[in-house]
Chains A and B, each alone.
Chain A
Amino acid sequence: MYTTVLLILSVLLPIALAWKTLHVWKKIVLRLQWQCQRDLQSELLRNLISRMQVTHDVQQQSHHKIMSYILPRLPRYISERAVTEQEVDDFLRYTATLQVIAQEPLLTLTQRFVNEHTTVRKNYRRPEDYDTVKEHELFRQYYRDVQMLWKEQQNALF
């Protein structure tokens, strides 16, 4: 009787071990496939984005990117009546021209605004913490700085 049991065991045991190991192997290959796909996809997207970029200089790219912080907040500031539409229009005109004719001063101003605004934003935990007064004050300060820089440049040009 023991013999029969041991015989059956000696066939079933290797089959069970091999089954489990093949299962693990299949999982590993699936994971490798998924990683390959992810790497390929990210490589392709990076290639696509680098074709769309105007410059491959990293510093220039970061100079261009900095306005991405401010542009999405403009509609909110308009609706909260911190600035009027005409003022935002002028603001965009000043920023666009200054970005070409006086890039470094504009960058300093914008960097300062972004840093101050990030400090204010860090204390937000819930949607009710949105401090309208401080945000508007910061943005109006930045707007005044930009306007001042623009006037200086106008006087320097003409």
Chain B
Amino acid sequence: MRFFNTFIRVMLPKEIARKSQVLSLLYVLSFSALMISTLYTNSIPQAVLALLGTIYMTSYYTNKLTSPNRFLPLRGEASVLVHDFTDVRHTLKATVTLDREQQKLVLTPDDQIKVQQLFLQQNAETNDFYRLMLQAKAQYEQLTALYAANRDVQVAEALGLVTLLHSHFIHGAEFTERALALPNSFPRKPTEAHTYILQLIRIALNRMDEAITHYENPEREEQFTKANAKMRETLRYVQG
């Protein structure tokens, strides 16, 4: 179930190419200078030296530019875009450096924290699934405390149902996100079925919230029975 709707794109700046372009220019100039000077000499040792110099220069230049663990140090201000399915919501500037041992581009730790906070804030505002699961998590904790306080069978059932709901949906969403990395995976965007399922979950969780907050009332048994029945109905409907 495609319940995640916030994604990140990293775009490197154009200035990163500057150093390698300068190196290429130097290479071209020195190579042609060497070849032209060899053309106008008559001494064989100079020609041999020129040949060796060419080979060395070319291998140095090629290695420097084609194996990432020997690159020139890369450092630049990448723009990190936080977007959902249709458009970009936020843009952030983050410093990116090249890590030679791991052969990866990494963000600096402060920028990583900034990006993480932005991502979490964006999800807290727009991702309904995230909010519902946090609500279920809060209910799980409340119900565990309630069950520890008084060993009520209905509270046990409510706790079990909330756990089932919570773990099932999180497991499904995690699975879908990983599966979408494979080719030909669907659905790529949330469909109306997802909105409908979220609505069902929301109704069930709200009922459960009411039952928990009114735990001190005398008619709590009825409320819990109704809330449990609603949860079971939602779980029965789940298609995975």
Question: Quick check: is B46 within 8 A (CB to CB) of the other chain?
Answer: no
Q: How far, in whole Å, are A92 and B147 apart by their CA atoms in the complex?
A: 19
Q: How far, in whole Å, are A92 and B35 apart by their CA atoms in the complex?
A: 83
Question: Quick check: is A120 within 8 A (CB to CB) of the other chain?
Answer: no
B156-A97 in contact (CB<8A): yes
Find chain B residues with CB under 8 A from A93 CB.
Answer: 157, 228, 232
A21-B8 in contact (CB<8A): no
Q: How far, in whole Å, are A45 and B2 apart by their CA atoms in the complex?
A: 13
Chain A 80-138 residues near chain B, CB threshold 8 A: 85, 88-89, 92-93, 95-101
B239-A75 in contact (CB<8A): yes
CB distance from A144 to the nearest CB of B (A): 19
Binary interface encoding of chain A residues 39-74 relative to chain B, with 1 for a CB under 8 A from any of its CBs, else 0: 111001101110111100000010011011001111
Question: Quick check: is A6 within 8 A (CB to CB) of the other chain?
Answer: yes
Assess A36 versus B106: contact at CB under 8 Å? Given A65-B167, A100-B160: yes
Q: Helix, strand, loop or mixed for chain B's interface?
A: helix
Q: How far, in whole Å, are A47 and B19 apart by their CA atoms in the complex?
A: 36
A35, A45, A48, A92: the one contacting B105 at CB < 8 Å is A35
CB distance from A112 to the nearest CB of B (A): 19
Q: How far, in whole Å, are A103 and B168 apart by their CA atoms in the complex?
A: 17
Find chain A residues with CB under 8 A from B8 CB.
Answer: 37, 40-41, 44
Closest A-chain residue to B238, C-beta based? A71
Binary interface encoding of chain B residues 1-43 relative to chain A, with 1 for a CB under 8 A from any of its CBs, else 0: 0001001111110001100110011011001100110010000
CB distance from B162 to the nearest CB of A (A): 9
B130, B156, B167: the one contacting A101 at CB < 8 Å is B156
Q: How far, in whole Å, are A103 and B95 apart by their CA atoms in the complex?
A: 49
Assess A71 versus B168: contact at CB under 8 Å? Given A52-B130, A99-B160: yes
A26-B17 in contact (CB<8A): yes
CB distance from B158 to the nearest CB of A (A): 8
B105-A41 in contact (CB<8A): no
Chain B: number of interface residues, binned into ranges: 35 or more
B156-A68 in contact (CB<8A): no
Binary interface encoding of chain A residues 1-43 relative to chain B, with 1 for a CB under 8 A from any of its CBs, else 0: 0010011011101110110011011101100110111011100
Assess A65 versus B171: contact at CB under 8 Å? Given A39-B104, A71-B238: yes
Stretch at the interface among B113-121, B185-193, B206-214: B113-121
Question: Quick check: is A156 within 8 A (CB to CB) of the other chain?
Answer: no
Most chain-B Cβ atoms within 10 A of its Cβ — which of A13, A15, A29, A65? A29
Q: How many residues of A contact B (CB 8 A)?
A: 59
Assess A54 versus B168: contact at CB under 8 Å? Given A72-B238, A95-B160: no
Q: How far, in whole Å, are A48 and B104 apart by their CA atoms in the complex?
A: 23
Most chain-A Cβ atoms within 10 A of its Cβ — which of B163, B167, B228, B238? B167
Question: Quick check: is B137 within 8 A (CB to CB) of the other chain?
Answer: yes
Assess A40 versus B65: contact at CB under 8 Å? Given A22-B20, A49-B170: no
Question: Quick check: is B174 within 8 A (CB to CB) of the other chain?
Answer: yes
Closest A-chain residue to B181, C-beta based? A38
What 4 additional pairs, Cβ within 8 angstroms, besides A35-B104, A100-B156? A68-B171, A71-B238, A73-B240, A93-B228
Top 8 closest pairs, chain A to chain B, by CB: A72-B240, A96-B160, A10-B35, A64-B167, A14-B31, A36-B105, A100-B156, A99-B160
* B residues at A contact (CB < 8 Å): 4, 7-12, 16-17, 20-21, 24-25, 27-28, 31-32, 35-36, 39, 58, 61-62, 65-66, 68, 74, 78, 80, 96, 98, 103-107, 112, 115-116, 119-120, 123, 130, 133-134, 137, 140-141, 147, 153, 156-161, 163-164, 166-168, 170-174, 177, 228-229, 232-233, 235-240
